[in-house]
Amino acid sequence: MPKICDLIAEKAKNGEDWVSYEFFPPRTEQGVKNLVARFERMKQARQPLFCDMTWGAGGSTSELTMDLTLKMKALGLEPNMHLTCTNVERKDVVKALQTCKDNDVRNIVALRGDPPHGQEKWEATEGGFECALDLVKFIRREHGDYFCLSVAGYPEGHPDTIVHVGDDESKLSPSERTRCRITEEDGQRKVYVCPDSAFKLEMDYLKKKVDAGADAIITQMFFDANTYGAFLKACRKHGIHVPVIPGIMLVQAAGGFRKMTAMCKTRVPSAVKESVDAKASDDVALKAYGVDLGVQISHQLLAHGAPGLHFYTLNLDKTTLAIAKRVADDRASSRTARDWLKAAALAAGAAVLVALLRRK
């Protein structure tokens, strides 16, 4: 079966748009059944280039992750399985990779992973791996180029590097202002950012992951397409030329949006925050806004040069599919209009030429 890096290259060669989806292992048996049914529905509505399946915080769902990965494969989807260093011994990684290989799963997302629930700081497992770079190096050493390896990229900096820097963003550098987070906490304005010096170290580390064998980068969520554009330029400036796939988080519920952006220290543009706050008590209006925002950001990302669109579905299909369909319809209409204008221009040119020839 094909590797994602090859599929992306083929799409780029043909000038074709594509989408991909990320899912996570549900906590209940019924949730698993619902998700598997959703795989089929989403495949029929808009065939994704690939689908990510997360490993779960602290490696807590590793067996279910593998089971759902294989179910994806059986349904004709191309799985991209997450593999983390958290609570995972080397032997567990060896086993997981061999199971993938035995079942022709050729795509892996190599991650450090989040700390287990209830643990604030990440700690390496004895006999395991220290970081995603170690994991990439190990997989390449043991399996050569069999797997397409994706790694994480952080357009605003890794949450661990985003720090409180005062209350005045005007003191930040131009690049810092593109990724800073501004909050109101207990009536006090606070500015958080990954400083330029730390961001450079982040980019240096990302370059090491790519040099070690990573084939693609999937970004952390963001809500400003210009943040992605700046990150893409930073990657190219650092000599990183693999596909940089934007991860698009959906706005589905105000509580979940606030919790997730706070946890990840994500920059939220004031217009987005105000819209979410205004619609927080109206579920229908908020979801409609989430679709509109997703469509807007998707078009902006493609204009910045994104190779495709990767949706963090939160295991829900309606909003994801609504965004994907509208973007596809808009792009098709735009291409039709361009083709019509091109044909009209050619026809007008031909008419002028005929008129000139007749005068002769």
Catalytic residues: 22
Biggest CA pair distance of the chain: 88
Give the pairing of strands 188-193 and 181-185: antiparallel
Contacts of 332 (CB under 8 A, 6+ apart): none
Tokens of 175: 């690049």
Q: Exposed, middle or buried, 188 (CB in 10 Å: 0-12/13-18/19+)?
A: exposed
Contacts of 65 (CB under 8 A, 6+ apart): 25, 53, 54, 55, 56, 81, 82
Tokens of 201: 């170290």
- For residues 166 and 294, give the distance between their C-alpha atoms in angstroms, rounded to a whole number: 31
DSSP string, 76-119: T--EEEEEESTT--HHHHHHHHHHHHHTT--EEEEE--PPPTT-
Contact 7, 17 (CB under 8 A): no
**Strand ranges, E, within the chain:** 19-23, 51-53, 79-84, 107-111, 148-153, 163-164, 181-185, 188-193, 216-219, 244-245, 247-249, 309-312
| Phi-psi domain of 203 (left: phi exceeds 0; alpha: psi -120 through 50; beta: other) | alpha
Tokens of 205: 């580390």
- For residues 123 and 112, give the distance between their C-alpha atoms in angstroms, rounded to a whole number: 10
23: helix, coil or strand? strand
